[in-house]
Structure 1
Amino acid sequence: MELNVTNSPFNEQQAELLNRLLPTLNEHQRIWLTGFLAAGSAAAALQAPVASAPQAAAAAPQAPAVPAAPREATILFGSQTGNGSGLAKKLAKRLEEQQVKAEALSMADFKPANLKKIDNLLIVVSTHGEGEPPDNALAFHEFLHSKRAPKLEQLRYSVLALGDTSYEFFCQTGKDFDARLAELGATRLAERVDCDVDFDESAGEWMKAVAEALSASPSAAASAADSAAPLSADPESEYSRSNPFRAEVLENLNLNGRGSARETRHLELSLEGSGLTYEPGDSLGVYPENHPRLVDEIIEEMGWNPDEIVPTGKNASAALREALHRYYEITVLTKPLLEQAAKLSGSEALAKLTAPEAAAELRAYIGERDLLDLIRDFGLKGRTAAEVTGILRKLPARLYSIASSAKATPDEVHLTVRTVRYACGGRDRYGVCSVQMAERLEPGDQLPVFIQHNPNFKLPANPDTPIIMIGPGTGVAPFRSFLAEREETDARGRTWLFFGDQHFSTDFLYQTEWQRWIKDGVLTKMDVAFSRDTDEKVYVQHRMLEKSKELYEWIDGGAAVYVCGDEKNMAHDVHTTLETIIAQGGGFSPEQASEYLLRMQQEKRYQRDVY
């Protein structure tokens, strides 16, 4: 249908111009133009004097307003620790504030067949392990990269990728989704943003870009984005990732016995007055401090003045020693850091090390080296403090699985932390946060902390559901939380714990507590593996295979399985062992057993908190 002088308020010349323009517009442009004109009319109405009733009656008749098509967006998150889900929910809130109907869903809860039914898709996804999707993104990732994935020419999308530049496959899962959606014909409504561990600012910029792309009023979108609440804030608390609470240390104990090769700290922190709340399965974020010895060695090596003022962020600065102690990452090297250092130093050797063909050499170099090594090995000496700190990333928070139940110990949060110490290149090296806790933290001191909620690692909603917990070493921390919670709530479901460490006599963490819970019926069964007490090393997966028949009966009977600990070795071996147990117990092929375990993940009956 064409406009003309008889069916519109336009003259002949205007109608002709509009008839030439309108057929060339796509749906997005039509919606934008409608909103733009509506916003202009509203602004003019606010500025115009109020007309009297007779004047209004005499005004020329206007064409009936055409309602703008409703704007909708689907936000899918793939998250292992809860960062992705937190950002997705924050984005949904922002979009709702600007009248965009937004729904945030875990990728595990989204039906891929619905991709053809949506117009705007926003993906927030982290990368896990060696470039792998997080557990709740596995099935969706596999579908999208399969031959079953449909063409998506109608779809507009954008990706926020979360990662850590200290890993080789930085933000790989986000890059995969971005590339694959483009291959399927979808159109980017905003460019992908890749976030390092300090993601608040870059994630905020992405949200702003997405909001503007979806909104007919970009300024309103920016305003809504800027006014949103900070990430990780508790509804009842003013404290968050960007505004941590200074928690007082109540206890700091070594859980290992005399003669152990290991040191594991049990910390009890006060949350009194913070308003912070948590559930079993959540984590505590801790902002650490670098070892003062390493800070002093760097300053001495460079010949810097420790009192020189250097920037530490937007409109912030500090004395150099304080900046290196509290604000900057100096123990972990990343490829982006080395690339910037190569430009700063002019070192050809460093430039070659960061070239694509030197990936193996780069991986070997950064594995156990720090900023002091970089300075000594590649001629950074002579550069100013401002130049070097300008290429460093912020010191990120460390996340630890919470080892307590808020119901059992109100206003407290407990941690189980293995102290990391090793020698390399003729120097002693330290785990930043763990050694701070072990050597420089006394009762009465304070730690800046925040709660990292993790919806992907939660007790079953039904307290009668049996649970199987597999947590060697400090991986047992959340299961102490689980059992304390179940004791307080009088849950009746059976519980089975697999725990392992080096020696029974020195490394049986929380031994008396497990024994009390077994006596009281809170813990139904416990199997332990102490790898250094026998000639042949025995780990938790070996104990699982020994109890294969009974384990399958629990699983087949509806038990939920939880795994916590090292992802690269332990969690991989446990996953393979579970597939073997399911195949043997159910008479399945390896492929069927793998599908069985995947279904358990989708049903939230198989959850992992791995790192």
Structure 2
Amino acid sequence: MATSTFSLGLSARAPILLNQFVKQPTYDDVIVVVLLLLGGLFYISHGRLWDKPDPYYYKWFERPQSSDLGLINTSANTRNIAEKLKESNKDVVVFWGSQSGTAEGFAHRLARDLMHRLRLETLAADLSDFDPHTVANIQQSQIAIFLLSTYGEGDPSDNATAFVNWLRSNPEVTLHNLRFAAFGCGNSNYKYYNAVIDQVTHSLESMGANKLLETGKADDAKGTTEEDFVDWKDTLVTAFSSQLGFSSEPQLEYIPSVRVVEDDSTDVSGIHLGEPSLSSMGKINTSSGPISSIVQLPITGVRDLVKIPTNAPSCLHMEFDLSRQPMIKYKTGDHMAIFPVNPDAEVSMLLRLLKLEARENVPIMITPIDPDDSSLRIPSPTTPRALFQHYLEVCGPVSREVVRDLAQWASTERARSFLLGIVADKATYADFVARHHLTLGRLLQHTLSVDCNADWSGLPLSFIVDNLRPMTPRYYSISSSSVTSPRRVSVTVAVESSPLPLDTQTTIPGLARSYLSSFLTFSPQPALGIPKSSPSPSIYAFIRRSAFKLPASQRTPLILIAAGTGIAPFRAFVQERARLAAATRSSSHSPAEKRNSSAGPILLFFGCRHPERNLLYQDEFFDLENDVLKGKLTIIHAFSRLEGQKKMYVQDRVEEKMEEVSRLLLEEDASLYVCGSAAMARDVSSTICQGVKLRKGFEGEDEVKKWREERKRAKKWQEDVWG
């Protein structure tokens, strides 16, 4: 970070030094110019020119999966899927392409169901573990199933990219022997909803493959991803049974996929008691940018950004100290991943209901029963308390399918009837969860209210490991600039609870948000950070590189569009531009020098609910707008919950300022950045495209679409969106 700052300072002084060099060059001047050139090259290239040839450069950012955790699938010694199926004697392969873990989890659940209900030997396979062209060698007697997610602008997941590219590049390949089914995970808030599964199925059919049933699609925007998958899975099992002649056994007893065994002889020093591992995240894909090691970061400051005090904070600014981790570096625009911890109350309730309190700290070994199963994401050995506190999402929702399977473990008929009754159909279960905050522990507690004699001590830990998702990190856009704050990184966290649809007095707190907001109690003076007399709390986290970066030239105009906590990276962007502007102002002497090296204009649109409550970092932006960036930074607000006024959203403000926006884009080649919800980004995109279409005189949508795609390829239109 120091090198980058040094190069920026030199860049700002370049016009003066070069002018002196031309007037009276000396040996020292030559040295300075060489340093200027090298420093500028380093800054502009971000080190890419010389770090590419180093085959070990990735080790600065990525820690390999530890072999001592028992999580590496050592049996996968071939990249030919046909050979793998033959070696392992499998009938079906379920390929998964997953970015967040949803499609991966579905793939392993489907594999278990096909084995249990149809007696089909099934392999769940990461697409990136096998060479794409070997799919053509799968035998006609075997079946391939594709579970693929779509994210961003219709992009495949990192681990599915090579396979999708192979399909696009090899349309002449024949796949007449391939029988397949497909299911996609997507979000209709995005323009390219489930585009990847559509592209893959179209390509496979064009190559001659035989699709066995209609493609299934999940829509996260409707909150029906789980039900969409279960419906499609049941349809697939029925189709396989009726059309292909496989015998179906829908009411089999639970068959575990993992073995959980108590082991008192385990060395205490080797027990995993909460520290996360990259192994618990599965295969690490770095095609979208490398990630750092997981480290423990002290919290140096926590403050509530809400101006009007309330009982619960709605948005936090959190700062973390990197000074003890010299190998961990970040750049403006990167993401920070934080591992949450389940609350003590939820963990203790589950331990009590399972009657594990007396053995909560006894070491347990967790291993897959099938040596070809690579789905286990739990470090072992661990303990029941650590398992529930750190490694499983015990606060997550419980699916209808899990409740149905849970009924077989009910110790009384009344408890069993209660569970089967609430999952009798989708509507009944939807009504139940709309009225109750449901987690696994709370569901078990419900059965005790129905029958006080219900006893869940017989529920095996393997069932819980099989049916709850492993804990995953939560990603946040970094809100600090690596130029102004290289060893202290900050994030902006919204802290809100979601009310139940049919019981608005009951709210469901977000796990990570609740976990992070608990740190407010450690900071009596949040603005000043943690008092020296108090022990500094810490979190586990890592840094993920992002392509969401400022242009190399500070003279490039910026259009920044954000809603809510989407303001986070733009706080960092504006801070960085302000530092460069201040450096230029102090080093430039003549008016010409100031004009040639001054920062470009910044047009910032920021949408929130109310100016008195949700206008994040208001004082900081006001000071910058009226001091260092005066005349350069223009902030336009949109308030959607301001009493007595019409609801305004950022896309409405963009439309009002479309003449200025289109001028900056078309005449000054401005860089456009959007951060916030996917729905907001979609509406902003539509507004801007319509404005550009009118200004440019485009006759059809194809022309404006081509213009937008060219901007995106040139990194002149970037989005960091979610939801």
Within the candidate set 572, 586, 600, 1:493 is matched to 600
Query: In 2, distance between residues paired with 1:463 and 1:372?
Result: 54
Match of 1:389 in 2: 464
Query: In 2, distance between residues paired with 1:294 and 1:272?
Result: 34
Q: Unmatched 5+ residue regions in structure 2?
A: 1-79, 81-96, 105-125, 132-145, 211-278, 367-376, 409-415, 449-453, 523-529, 531-535, 582-597
Q: Quote how far apart the aligned CAs of 1:124 are.
A: 12
1:552–1:582 CA contact under 8 A, matched in 2:
yes
Match of 1:194 in 2: none
Residue 264 (str. 1) matches residue 324 (str. 2) = no
Match of 1:472 in 2: 563
Deviations 1:528-575 (A, max 9, x none): 1222224221121121111111111111121121111122x3223222
Within the candidate set 641, 648, 658, 1:532 is matched to 641
- Match of 2:663, SS state, is helix
Aligned amino acid, residue 440 of structure 2: L
Match of 2:709 in 1: 598
2:322–2:489 CA contact under 8 A, matched in 1:
yes
Q: Quote how far apart the aligned CAs of 1:431 are.
A: 1.2
Alignment of 1:125-524 (within 5 A): 126-128=149-151, 133-134=154-155, 151-153=171-173, 175-185=197-207, 231=284, 240=292, 243-259=293-309, 263-274=314-325, 275-305=327-357, 307-308=359-360, 309=362, 310=364, 316-333=380-397, 338-346=400-408, 358=426, 365=433, 369-375=438-444, 382=456, 383-384=458-459, 386-391=461-466, 392-424=468-500, 427-440=506-519, 442=522, 443=530, 444-455=536-547, 457-490=548-581, 492-518=599-625, 519-521=627-629, 523-524=632-633
Residue 564 (str. 1) matches residue 675 (str. 2) = yes
Q: Quote how far apart the aligned CAs of 1:300 are.
A: 3.8
**Residue 320 to residue 149, structure 1, CA distance change in 2 (3 Å):** closer
Query: In 1, distance between residues paired with 2:186 and 2:692?
Result: 37
Aligned amino acid, residue 549 of structure 1: E
Aligned amino acid, residue 500 of structure 1: G
**Residue 598 to residue 314, structure 1, CA distance change in 2 (3 Å):** closer
Q: Quote how far apart the aligned CAs of 1:79 are.
A: 7.8
Q: Quote how far apart the aligned CAs of 1:249 are.
A: 0.5
Q: Quote how far apart the aligned CAs of 1:334 are.
A: 6.5
Match of 2:654 in 1: 544
Query: In 2, distance between residues paired with 1:481 and 1:162?
Result: 39
Query: In 2, distance between residues paired with 1:374 and 1:174?
Result: 36
**Residue 153 to residue 368, structure 1, CA distance change in 2 (3 Å):** farther
1:79–1:134 CA contact under 8 A, matched in 2:
no
**Residue 307 to residue 173, structure 1, CA distance change in 2 (3 Å):** farther
Q: Quote how far apart the aligned CAs of 1:405 are.
A: 1.1
Alignment of 1:50-65 (within 5 A): none
**Residue 371 to residue 340, structure 1, CA distance change in 2 (3 Å):** closer
**Residue 252 to residue 307, structure 1, CA distance change in 2 (3 Å):** farther
Q: Quote how far apart the aligned CAs of 1:584 are.
A: 3.4
Q: Quote how far apart the aligned CAs of 1:576 are.
A: 2.3
Q: Quote how far apart the aligned CAs of 1:350 are.
A: 7.2
Alignment of 1:569-580 (within 5 A): 569-580=679-690
1:166–1:334 CA contact under 8 A, matched in 2:
no
**Residue 149 to residue 247, structure 1, CA distance change in 2 (3 Å):** closer
Percent sequence identity is 24
Q: Quote how far apart the aligned CAs of 1:233 are.
A: 8.8
Aligned amino acid, residue 391 of structure 2: Y
2:607–2:638 CA contact under 8 A, matched in 1:
yes
Query: In 2, distance between residues paired with 1:447 and 1:306?
Result: 28
Q: Quote how far apart the aligned CAs of 1:358 are.
A: 4.5
**Residue 589 to residue 360, structure 1, CA distance change in 2 (3 Å):** farther
TM-score by length of 2: 0.52
Deviations 1:229-275 (A, max 9, x none): 984799xx9x84xx511000010000111246862110110111321
1:152–1:184 CA contact under 8 A, matched in 2:
no
Q: Quote how far apart the aligned CAs of 1:411 are.
A: 1.0
Deviations 1:84-106 (A, max 9, x none): 9xxxxxx9x999xxxx9xxxxxx
Query: In 2, distance between residues paired with 1:125 and 1:517?
Result: 45
**Residue 506 to residue 172, structure 1, CA distance change in 2 (3 Å):** closer
1:580–1:590 CA contact under 8 A, matched in 2:
no
Query: In 2, distance between residues paired with 1:285 and 1:162?
Result: 28
Query: In 2, distance between residues paired with 1:463 and 1:135?
Result: 33
1:165–1:334 CA contact under 8 A, matched in 2:
no
**Residue 167 to residue 349, structure 1, CA distance change in 2 (3 Å):** farther
Q: Quote how far apart the aligned CAs of 1:452 are.
A: 1.2
Q: Quote how far apart the aligned CAs of 1:377 are.
A: 6.2
Q: Quote how far apart the aligned CAs of 1:594 are.
A: 3.8
Query: In 1, distance between residues paired with 2:314 and 2:550?
Result: 29
Deviations 1:566-608 (A, max 9, x none): 22x3223222222232233333356143443233223322211
- Match of 1:248, SS state, is strand
**Residue 407 to residue 155, structure 1, CA distance change in 2 (3 Å):** farther
**Residue 178 to residue 602, structure 1, CA distance change in 2 (3 Å):** same
Query: In 2, distance between residues paired with 1:168 and 1:359?
Result: 24
Q: Unmatched 5+ residue regions in structure 1?
A: 1-31, 33-76, 85-90, 101-122, 189-225
Query: In 1, distance between residues paired with 2:337 and 2:313?
Result: 23
1:232–1:451 CA contact under 8 A, matched in 2:
no
TM-score by length of 1: 0.61
Query: In 1, distance between residues paired with 2:682 and 2:188?
Result: 18
Q: Quote how far apart the aligned CAs of 1:324 are.
A: 1.4
Aligned amino acid, residue 473 of structure 2: A
Query: In 2, distance between residues paired with 1:135 and 1:595?
Result: 21
Aligned amino acid, residue 512 of structure 2: C
Select between 587-596 and 290-299 the one with higher mean Cα deviation: 587-596
- Match of 1:476, SS state, is helix
1:79–1:125 CA contact under 8 A, matched in 2:
no
2:175–2:208 CA contact under 8 A, matched in 1:
yes
Q: Quote how far apart the aligned CAs of 1:394 are.
A: 1.2
Q: Quote how far apart the aligned CAs of 1:360 are.
A: 11
Query: In 2, distance between residues paired with 1:330 and 1:166?
Result: 25
Deviations 1:304-338 (A, max 9, x none): 42643455666614332332121110222365xx5
